[in-house]
Amino acid sequence: MTRRPRGKKGERGNCGGFGTQIISNYCSRSAIKCVSMEVGLMQRQWVEYTKSLFLEEFLDSQFIELQKLQDEGNPDFIVEVVSLFFEDSERLLNDLTVAFDQPDVDFQKIDGHVHQLKGSSSSIGAQRVKNVCIAMRSFCEEQNIDGCLRCLQQLKQETCLVKNKLENLFRMEQQIVAAGGSIPATELIF
Amino acid sequence: MENGFSSPRSDAFPIGLRVLVVDDDPTWLKILEKMLKKCSYEVTTCCLAREALSLLRERKDGYDIVISDVNMPDMDGFKLLEHVGLEMDLPVIMMSVDGETSRVMKGVQHGACDYLLKPIRMKELRNIWQHVLRKKIQEGRDIEGHDVIEGIHILRNVADRYDDSQFLRGEELFSVRKRKDIDKHEDKDFCDTSSTKKARVVWSVDLHQKFVKAVNQIGFDKVGPKKILDLMNVPWLTRENVASHLQKYRLYLSRLQKENDPKACFVVGMKHTDSCSKDGDGNFGLRSSLAVPQNDVTNSSFSFSGDNFLLQNVDSIGCEVDRKRVVQEHTSEPKRAAARSVPEPIKSRCTQMKFNNSIHSVEPEGKFAAFDPSNRSCYPWVEAPEIKFKQESKPLVHLEGDFNQFPPTVPPHQVQMDPLQSISSISSGRSATEKDIANSIESKPPYSEDCSQQMVHLNLPKTPTDSFSGKAKSFNEMNDHFDPNSTTTAPMGKNQNFNLSCISTDLGSGLPFATIDEDLQGYLLQDGCYPKDLEHQIIQFPDYGDPGIFTEVPTHLYDAMRFGYDYSYDPTEYPVIDEGLFIA
C-alpha cells in the first residue's frame, strides 16, 4: 500500500476523528486519484466492518455516543476509553476466576464483580459482554455455579472477541488516516 | 458553595458548574469527564468515595454538585450520599447500571436529587445544573445574575420538559407554584417567601461534630433543637437551622440502622423504634411537621394523591386479608387473591389492625391518629379502652390547640377533648395554616418561630404523648396501651409488625403503590414533608371508621380524595375542600 504524507493542512484535524465529515474524503480523493481509490476502498471496508459490528451486536449505540464525544482536542479518546475498558475487564475477569477457585464460592462478591463488568461494558457499548453479564447475574442469584462458570467462559470469550474486533477497526482507521483519508461518521452509515 | 456563584463565571451559569464525579470504574470516569467538559462544566474526578469525601471536606465551597456511582468498593455510594447531604448539603446525583426500582428508591430515600442509569448520555448531563439551581431557589438564595423569579422561570421551563426523573424537590416547587396560582398570588409572592428565608447553613465537620456532641450530651430521648442550640453555643446558628439538621441527622441514623432492609425504608423509624429505643422518630416527625411551615403549602398539594393511595391500599388489603394469612404471607409474598375467601367476621378486626398499621408506617404522627374514636363503633373491642383513648388523645388536642393559635382564623371548636373533634381540628387547623401562608406570607417567620417553640414544648416528657413520640418506643407502647382493654391483645401486637412488613413488601414489589412510593420516599428526604402525613390521616379517618361516619363526610371531600392530585389544584374547588375538612 502506498503511503503518502497527509494532504492539506486542513485535513489534519480529522485524523483519527470518528465523527468527522465525509467531505474531507472528497478532498483527498481529488488530490491523487490512485491513492484516493485505495482510500475509498478502505473506507468502504471500514463502513462494512463497522456495520457488521453493530449488526452482530458486538457494539451498541453507546459506541456511537463515544464517537460523538471524540473531537479534535482529543483525537484518541475512543482508543483511550476502550483500552481502559480492556484493562479493567481483564482485572475483573481475573478476580472472577480467582473467586470461583475458592472453596466457598462467595456469590455476593462474584455478583459485585459482574456488576462492575456490566457497568464498564455498558460504557463502551460492548453489548454482548453486557448481555452475558446480565445472564451471569441471574445465575448468581440462583447460586448456580455451573451456570456462572459457563458465563465466565463466555465472558472471557466475548471480551476477547470484541477486543479483536475493535483492534481491527482501529487498525483500519489508522490505515485510512495514514493514507490521507478520514473516517466517515458512523451515524451516517445507518 | 456559599460563594459558589460569586466568582466571575457566575454570570454564565450554568457554565463552569463545578462537578465532582466519583466512580470506581475508570472507563466511566473518563467518559463522564469528557461529557461534562463538553457541557462546559468544570470537572473533578476521583475513583474512591473516601477520596471524594476528603476532597469535599478540604474544599468546602469547591463544588456545586456531586455525581456518584452507587457501587464502590471502599464506601457504599449511599453512605457517601449521606455524608454529603449531612456535611455539605450539596445536590448528589446517583448513577448505576442497575435500574431496579428498589435501588433507585434507596438512592432517592438517601437524598439523591436524581438517579441516572448507565449508559449515561450527554443530554442527561446537560441539565444537571437544574439541581443546583433548584437547591438554590429552595434555599431562597439569589444567584448572581439570576434573581429568584428568573430562576423559577428557568426551572419551570426545565421542569416542563423534564419527565420521570423529576423528583420531589422539583415537584415541591411545582406545587408551591400551583398553589400560588390558585390563590392568585403570582411568583412575586414566592419570591417574597424565599427572600424572607434565612441563608443556608453549611454544616461543616466541626459544626456537625459540635452538634453530635450536644445531641449525645442531652441524650437522644430528650433532645430538642433549643437544647442543642444552647449547648452548641454558636451565636449565628438559629433554632431552625438546628431543627432542620436534627431532622436530617435522625433520618440518617435511622437509615443506618436499616441498611440491610431497604424495602422497609419508608417506614423509617417505626419498625426500628423497637430495636433502637434511642432514636426519637416520633418526636421528630411531629417536630418537623411544625417546624417547616414553609412547606405546608407544598405538602397539602401532595397529600391528595397520597390519600388516594392509602385508601386503596388499606381497602384492598385490609379487608381481604385474614389475620393469620397476614402473618404467613408477609414472610413471603403478598398474595391477596389467596385471601379472598376469608370469612366476614375477621374482616373488621383485620381492617382495624391494618388501619393502625398503615398509619404507623406512614408517619409517627399516626400514633395519635390510631386513637381515632371513629373506629370505636366499628370494632367492639375498641369500646373498652375508650377512656384510655381519650386520655391518650388529650395531648394531641392540646397540641393542635396550640398549633392553631398561630393562624388568625381558628374556629373555637377545635380545641376539644373528643378525639373525633380533634381530627377536625387538625384539618381545620391545617387549612387555616394554609390560608395563613397563602394570604399573608409575611406572617410566616413568626409562625415558624412559634412552631418551634411548640416543638420544644412537645419534647418535654410530661404528657403521655411524649412518652411515645419522645422516647420513640411508640410501637411497643402503642401495643401496651391497647393491651389491657383489648380482647385480641397479643395477636394485635404481632400483626402490627407483620403488617408493616406487608406494606413494605408491597412497596418493594411495586404493585399498585408505585406512585406512592415516590411520595413516601420523598417525604422521608424532605424537610417538612411531614405535614402531608398529618393530612393523610385526616382524610383517612372517615374511610377507616364507621361507615356511618363515612357517609357523613361531605361528598365533595370524598370526591377530592378520589380525584386526587389534580382536583386539589382546581382553584374553584379548593375552598370547598377546605370547608369539607372543617365539617369533617
> How many cross-chain Cβ pairs, A to B, lie less than 8 Å apart?
54
CB contact under 8 A, B28 and A62: no
Structure confidence at residue B227 (pLDDT):
82
Residue A131 contacts B where some CB pair is shorter than 8 Å: no
Residue A19 contacts B where some CB pair is shorter than 8 Å: no
Alpha helices in chain A (DSSP H): 23-31, 33-55, 61-69, 77-101, 107-124, 127-142, 145-178, 186-189
What are A36-77's pLDDT values in tens digits?
A: 668 889 999 999 999 999 999 999 999 999 999 998 888 899
Instruction: Name the minimum distance, in Å, from the CA of B106 to any CA of chain A.
Output: 18
Minimum-distance CB partner of A69 among B34, B69, B96: B34
Is the peptide bond prior to B119 cis by the omega test (within 30 degrees of 0)?
Answer: yes
Residue B121 contacts A where some CB pair is shorter than 8 Å: yes
pLDDT higher than 80, residue A103: yes
What are B218-244's pLDDT values in tens digits?
A: 887 778 888 888 888 888 888 888 888
pLDDT band at B85 (very low <50, low <70, confident <90, very high): confident
Residue B26 contacts A where some CB pair is shorter than 8 Å: yes
Minimum-distance CB partner of B31 among A81, A88, A118: A81
Minimum-distance CB partner of A85 among B27, B38, B121: B27
Lowest mean pLDDT among A166-180, B9-23, B392-406: B392-406
Alpha helices in B363-441 (DSSP H): 366-369, 380-383, 386-403, 419-439
Instruction: Name the minimum distance, in Å, from the CA of A74 to any CA of chain B.
Output: 9
Chain B residues with CB under 8 Å of A119 CB are 25, 28, 69, 71, 96-97, 118
The whole-angstrom separation of Cα B87 and Cα B192 is 28
What is the ipTM for the molecules in this complex?
0.82
On whether the CB atoms of residues B286 and B458 are closer than 8 A, the answer is yes
What are A128-153's pLDDT values in tens digits?
A: 999 999 999 999 999 999 999 999 99
Instruction: Name the minimum distance, in Å, from the CA of A43 to any CA of chain B.
Output: 27
The amino acid occupying position B313 is N
Q: Give the closest residue to A69 by CA, choosing from B124, B17, B96, B39.
A: B39
What are B360-403's pLDDT values in tens digits?
A: 433 343 334 334 434 333 343 433 333 333 333 333 333 333 34
Q: Which helix (H) or strand (E) holds B323?
A: helix B323-331
DSSP string, B515-577: HHHHHHHHHHHSTT-HHHHHHHHHHHHHHHS-HHHHHHS-HHHHHHHHHTHHHHH-TTTHHHH
Residue that wins the pLDDT comparison between A30 and B81? B81
Structure confidence at residue A35 (pLDDT):
61
CB contact under 8 A, A88 and B25: yes
CB contact under 8 A, B30 and A84: yes
Measured between CA atoms, the residue of chain B closest to residue A134 is B98
Residue B35 contacts A where some CB pair is shorter than 8 Å: yes
Residue to mutate among A71, A92, A122, with most B CBs inside 10 A, is A122
